[in-house]
């Protein structure tokens, strides 16, 4: 394993001090959009600048993606899968420098950065197999000498809006599946991590160029929310997959739905772990710790709430306080550190506002938070993970704060605990820690967790790509990645073939002349 320095990683990935930000595949487009500046939350240094998209460039990209679709959809799906396989090979080649860029530009630990790239590799492998399994369904007709079946066709241009916290993986969840389905993609990365988008575009372009893939299959449009609005309102983009805040998701859903397009939403989470008196507490503490402080609490699946059985509450809180006392906070590129920075100073302000709100509503801090200052913390983005005793009904507890603040709530019986778990507007990820079979089954039953993800004896973070990812309620209801999530990227068609000599009507209707 080569030890890439950040400068070497940037050079290897084709990142320069100043970069074009709009591409139709292998070609970069000149734009008049404003310049985006990417600063690392790790040390506050400017990493690079990116020229963002404007409306004229966006129009060119959409036209190119539409044109490419006409050719790409005719390529046999297994052949499309072979090209995605080669992208997986390229990602293996660039795993270390890309993982380092993810860590440096976003602020998650280097190990988590490598894990995110591994997730991209995994979804490539999944998509390759899927390219030979885009199966339809055969049904029996009620009419003699008739055959009925369903088949799936490529949908068209897919728009992808991704968030800063997973600056590359979520794009791959969508793009790799969409590509094997025969769609073309236009990706708007987060304006807080534009260089990660350019790096991925460079990697994909290298593979596409070798395979003579049509220009426009993989498009990139860096920019702010205005570019997202153009994407959401464009009738030439039948599907828009958006990952981010609930507020953003509602705006995207409104624009896409008004034109009768398909919104695929993966929005906020307010995830809880129920810790039963029947839990293995070593596992419970480990799961809660990573869920709460991993990625500095900036995952949509981060653990926000711990719902703890009253009999073990004191033991759990003491063990949590001890564990928090051993956390190392600092530069995410230093693999000895557990917690890196928040994405930017605006995120720090939201974290501080949440701490104040906890106090004003009557919460009690067991581990105090605060902004870290001094050597190693010059970026101003490093904060202390905090733990507070609260009531589930507190307004601040009902909200998603993208920061390492963990809320503790007591419960007496499992029905009460599940009520607390479900008693928020978000419905992404949930978990129970218990060795009691009845409690497991009650949690997973139709009257149990109302989330899209429900785990037993693992935390709320760390989903595998094989399962469909997404949630209910204000999380948006969308599903990405594994299982049969591929179907949303295609259009379903029901076919009926009459191979007889008569024309019988369905339901036995007579229409004789």
List, by residue number, the catalytic residues.
Answer: 266, 300
Residue 442, SS3? Answer: helix
Burial of 283 (0-12, 13-18, 19+ CB in 10 A): middle
Residue 45: closest CA among 379, 381, 383, 382: 379
Burial of 336 (0-12, 13-18, 19+ CB in 10 A): exposed
DSSP label at 458?
S
Assess contact for 363 and 394: CB atoms under 8 A. yes
Strands in 271-275's sheet, in edge-to-edge order, are: 364-367, 386-389, 405-411, 303-309, 271-275, 429-433, 453-456
d(CA 202, CA 198) in angstroms, rounded, equals: 6
Burial of 247 (0-12, 13-18, 19+ CB in 10 A): exposed
**Token pair 């550190």 in the structure block, residue:** 337
Which residue(s) pair with 241 in the sheet?
160, 264
Residue 94: closest CA among 201, 253, 223: 201
| Other beta carbons less than 10 A from residue 21's beta carbon | 28
Assess contact for 223 and 52: CB atoms under 8 A. yes
- φ, ψ of residue 364 in degrees (nearest 5): -120, 125
Which two tokens mark 144?
A: 């003699």
Residue 182: closest CA among 59, 81, 64: 81
d(CA 316, CA 314) in angstroms, rounded, equals: 6
Which two tokens mark 110?
A: 């280097």
**Cβ within 8 Å of residue 258, ≥6 positions away:** none
The 3-state DSSP composition of the chain as helix, strand, coil percent (nearest 5) reads: 40, 20, 40
Which two tokens mark 292?
A: 């709460």
Beta strands (DSSP E) in 320-383 are: 364-367
């Amino acid at each position: 394993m080569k030890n890439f320095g950040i400068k070497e990683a940037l050079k290897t990935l084709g990142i320069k001090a100043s970069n074009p930000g709009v591409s139709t595949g292998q070609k970069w487009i000149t734009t008049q959009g404003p310049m985006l500046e990417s600063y690392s939350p790790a040390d506050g240094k400017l990493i690079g600048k990116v020229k963002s998209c404007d409306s004229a460039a966006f129009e060119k990209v959409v036209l190119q993606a539409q044109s490419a679709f006409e050719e790409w959809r005719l390529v046999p799906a297994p052949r499309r899968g072979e090209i995605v396989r080669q992208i997986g090979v390229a990602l293996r080649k660039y795993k270390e420098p890309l993982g380092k860029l993810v860590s440096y530009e976003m602020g998650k630990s280097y190990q988590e950065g490598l894990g995110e790239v591994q997730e991209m590799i995994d979804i490539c492998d999944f998509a390759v197999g899927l390219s030979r399994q885009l199966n339809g369904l055969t049904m029996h007709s009620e009419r003699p000498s008739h055959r009925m079946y369903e088949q799936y066709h490529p949908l068209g241009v897919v728009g992808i809006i991704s968030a800063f916290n997973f600056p590359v993986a979520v794009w791959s969840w969508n793009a790799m599946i969409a590509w094997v389905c025969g769609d073309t993609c236009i990706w708007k990365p987060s304006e807080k991590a534009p260089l990660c988008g350019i790096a991925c575009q460079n990697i994909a372009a290298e593979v596409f160029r070798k395979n003579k893939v049509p220009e426009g299959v993989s498009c990139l449009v860096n920019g702010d929310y205005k570019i997202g609005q153009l994407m959401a309102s464009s009738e030439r983009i039948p599907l828009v997959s958006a990952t981010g805040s609930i507020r953003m998701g509602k705006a995207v859903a409104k624009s896409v739905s008004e034109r009768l397009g398909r919104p695929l939403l993966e929005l906020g989470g307010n995830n809880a772990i129920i810790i039963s008196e029947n839990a293995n507490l070593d596992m419970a503490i480990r799961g809660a710790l990573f869920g709460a402080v991993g990625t500095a609490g900036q995952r949509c699946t981060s653990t926000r709430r711990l719902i703890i059985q009253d009999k073990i509450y004191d033991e759990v809180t003491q063990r949590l306080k001890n564990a928090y006392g051993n956390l190392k906070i600092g530069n995410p590129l230093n693999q000895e550190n557990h917690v890196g920075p928040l994405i930017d100073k605006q995120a720090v302000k939201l974290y501080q506002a949440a701490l104040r709100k906890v106090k004003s509503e009557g919460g009690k801090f067991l581990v105090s938070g605060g902004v870290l200052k001094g050597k190693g913390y010059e970026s101003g983005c490093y904060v202390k993970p905090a733990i507070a005793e609260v009531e589930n009904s507190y307004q601040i507890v009902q909200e998603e704060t993208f920061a390492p603040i963990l809320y503790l709530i007591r419960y007496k019986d499992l029905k009460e605990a599940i009520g607390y778990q479900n008693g928020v507007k978000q419905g992404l990820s949930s978990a129970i820690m218990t060795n009691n079979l009845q409690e497991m089954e009650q949690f997973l039953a139709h009257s149990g967790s109302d989330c899209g993800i429900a785990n037993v004896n693992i935390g709320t973070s760390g989903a595998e790509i094989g399962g469909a990812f997404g949630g209910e309620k204000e999380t948006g209801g969308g599903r990405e990645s594994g299982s049969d999530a591929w179907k949303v990227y295609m259009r379903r068609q029901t076919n009926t073939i009459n191979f007889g000599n008569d024309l019988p009507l369905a339901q036995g209707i007579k229409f004789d002349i």
